[in-house]
Amino acid sequence: MGRIIGLDFGAMTCGVAISDALLITAQGVETIRRTHETKLRKTYQRIEYLIDWHEVDRIVVGLPKKLDGSEGDRAEKSRAFAADLERRTGLSVILWDERFSTVSAAAVLNEAGVGLDKKEKVIDKMAAVIILQNYLDFLANEKAKSTAGK
């Protein structure tokens, strides 16, 4: 089984994280920036390059839900992005509830004493790490449950 890439897809950025080979931890890779919300060609190309480089076989895309669990415009755009990625790469794409990922990322960066100017450059990458780490923790928990009953 290969690595997993985690993506925090925003209006003008896409934070990227990659799992380790054992699917235990997520590491931030980069933030892909766009000049316009609908100009995604270079974003897709960069993600495809990272998928090949890191031997990724699964994609996790953050799904921004509202506090009440409903979905709005951003979630619709994330779903379309995920569908395009699945079609382009042929890989399985998992949509993962990302509520509070950016808030959590900001809290981690604040605690680390990261200044506002640097925070703006890394917050999307950190949010991708949180999304992917939450998914990896879920996988580990599911694996533990399935082996506990044997």
Nearest 5°: phi and psi at 76? -60, -45
Query: What pLDDT is recorded for position 145?
Result: 86
* pLDDT tens digits along 10-67: 999 999 999 999 999 999 999 999 999 889 999 999 999 999 999 999 999 999 887 7
Rounded CA gap, 30 and 126, in Å? 9
Find, among 13, 14, 27, 9, the residue nearest to 129 by Cα. Answer: 27
d(CA 37, CA 96) in angstroms, rounded, equals 21
Q: Which residue has the higher pLDDT, 138 or 119?
A: 138
User: Which pLDDT score is estimated for 114?
Assistant: 67
Calculate the alpha carbon distances from 127 to 18, 31, 84, 120 in Å: 12, 10, 21, 12
- CA–chain centroid gap for 83, Å, is 15
Which of 138, 87, 131, 136 is closest to 105 using CA atoms? 131
Strands 3-9, 92-97: pairing is unpaired
Q: Which domains, from first to last, does the chain contain?
A: 3-148 (3.30.420.140)
Position 88 scores a pLDDT of 97
Cα 110–chain centre separation: 20
Distance CA 6, CA 4 (A): 7
Q: What is the pLDDT of residue 75?
A: 92
Q: What is the pLDDT of residues 61-119, one digit of tens each?
A: 999 887 788 888 999 999 999 999 999 999 999 999 886 666 666 677 677 776 767 66
Q: Cα 56 to chain center, whole Å?
A: 13
- C-alpha torsion sign, points 125, 127, 130, 136: negative
